[in-house]
Amino acid sequence: MSNIDLEKFAKYSKAGPRYTSYPTALEFNDDFKYDDYIKFLENSDEKISLYIHLPFCRSACYFCGCNVVFTSKEEKLSRYIEYLKKEIDILASHIDTNREVIQFHFGGGTPTFYKAFELDEIVTYVKSKFTNWSSEAEISCEIDPRFFNEEQMKVFKKHGFNRISFGVQDLDEKVQKEIHRVQPLALTKNAVELARKYGINSINVDFIYGLPYQTLESFKKTLELSTTLNPDRVAVFNYAHVPWLMKTMRKFDETTLPSPDVKLQIFSHTIKFFEDKGYKMVGMDHFAKPQDELFGAIEKGELHRNFQGYTTKGGANLIGIGLTSIGEGSRYYAQNSKNMSEYEEMIDSGKLPFVRGVKLSDDDYIRKSVIMELMANFSIDIKRVEKEHKIDFNLYFKDTLEDLKEFENADIISIKDNKLSVSQTGTLLIRNIAMPFDAYMNKYKNSKKSFSKTV
Ligand SMILES: C[S@@+](CC[C@H](N)C(=O)[O-])C[C@H]1O[C@@H](n2cnc3c(N)ncnc32)[C@H](O)[C@@H]1O
Ligand code: SF4
What confidence tens digit (pLDDT) does each residue in 306-332 have?
777 788 877 799 999 999 999 999 999
Alpha carbons 428 and 398: distance in angstroms, whole number: 24
Alpha carbons 357 and 160: distance in angstroms, whole number: 32
Give, rounded to a whole angstrom, the gap between the first and last alpha carbons of the chain: 18
Q: Provide the H-helix boundaries in 130-215.
A: 150-158, 173-178, 185-197
Instruction: Check residue 143 and give its pLDDT.
Output: 98
Distance set, CA 380 to CA 17, 65, 230, 395, 433 (Å): 19, 30, 33, 16, 12
The Cα diameter of the chain in Å comes to 61
Ligand 1, residues 237, 241, 247, 326: which to mutate, most atoms within 8 A of Cβ?
Answer: 237
Pocket of ligand 1 (CB under 6 A): 63-66, 108, 110, 142, 144, 167, 169, 206, 208, 237, 239-240
H or E element in which residue 108 lies: strand 101-108
**Domain extents in the chain:** 1-22+362-455, 24-320
Ligand 2, residues 56, 61, 179, 239: which to mutate, most atoms within 8 A of Cβ?
Answer: 61
> What is 338-382 written as a DSSP string?
S-HHHHHHHHHTTS--EEEEEEPPHHHHHHHHHHHHHHHHSEEEH
Instruction: Check residue 131 and give its pLDDT.
Output: 96
Distance set, CA 10 to CA 14, 260, 453 (Å): 9, 6, 11
Q: What is the SS3 assignment for 309? A: strand
A 10 A CB-CB count for 372 gives 20
Contact 294, 232 (CB under 8 A): no
The larger pLDDT score, comparing residue 179 to residue 260, is at 179
Instruction: Check residue 1 and give its pLDDT.
Output: 44
pLDDT at residue 214 is higher than 50: yes
Contact 171, 226 (CB under 8 A): yes
User: Cβ(87) to ligand 2 under 6 A?
Assistant: no
Contacts 24+ apart (CB under 8 A), 413-419: 415/382, 418/381, 418/382, 418/383, 419/379, 419/380, 419/381, 419/382
pLDDT at residue 29 is higher than 60: yes
Ligand 1, residues 106, 142, 238: which to mutate, most atoms within 8 A of Cβ?
Answer: 142
Contact 300, 269 (CB under 8 A): no
For range 192-199, the mean pLDDT:
98
**Could you read off the pLDDT of 287-296 as tens digits, one per residue?**
999 888 888 8
Ligand 2, residues 144, 180, 247: which to mutate, most atoms within 8 A of Cβ?
Answer: 144
pLDDT at residue 4 is higher than 70: no
pLDDT at residue 420 is higher than 90: yes
Q: How far is the CA of 385 from the centre of ligand 1 (A)?
A: 33
Q: How far is the CA of 329 from the centre of ligand 1 (A)?
A: 25
User: Cβ(107) to ligand 2 under 6 A?
Assistant: no
Most confident by average pLDDT, 193-202, 259-268, 311-320, 444-453: 193-202
Alpha carbons 142 and 168: distance in angstroms, whole number: 11
What percent of the chain clears pLDDT 70, i.e. is strictly above it?
Answer: 95
Classify domain 1-22+362-455 by CATH architecture.
Orthogonal Bundle (1.10)
What is the model's pTM? 0.93
Q: Is the peptide bond before 283 cis (omega within 30 degrees of 0)?
A: no
Instruction: Check residue 190 and give its pLDDT.
Output: 98
Counting from 1 in the atom list of ligand 2, the atom nearest the Cα of 57 is 8
Contact 357, 28 (CB under 8 A): yes
**Could you read off the pLDDT of 75-95 as tens digits, one per residue?**
999 999 999 999 999 999 999
The residue type of 19 is: Y
A 10 A CB-CB count for 5 gives 12
CATH of 24-320, one of 3.30.420.40, 3.30.70.270, 3.80.30.20, 3.40.50.10330: 3.80.30.20
Q: What pLDDT band is residue 424 in, cutting at 50, 70 and 90? A: confident
Alpha carbons 366 and 356: distance in angstroms, whole number: 22
Q: What pLDDT band is residue 303 in, cutting at 50, 70 and 90? A: confident
Q: What pLDDT band is residue 305 in, cutting at 50, 70 and 90? A: confident
Ligand nearest to the CA of 20: 1
Alpha carbons 328 and 338: distance in angstroms, whole number: 17
User: Cβ(249) to ligand 2 under 6 A?
Assistant: no
| Whether the domain at 1-22+362-455 and the domain at 24-320 fall into the same CATH topology | no
User: Cβ(211) to ligand 2 under 6 A?
Assistant: no
Distance set, CA 111 to CA 95, 132, 266 (Å): 25, 24, 30
Alpha carbons 298 and 303: distance in angstroms, whole number: 6
Q: What pLDDT band is residue 450 in, cutting at 50, 70 and 90? A: low
pLDDT at residue 132 is higher than 90: yes
pLDDT at residue 425 is higher than 90: no
A 10 A CB-CB count for 189 gives 15
Q: How far is CA 213 from the centre of its chain?
A: 25
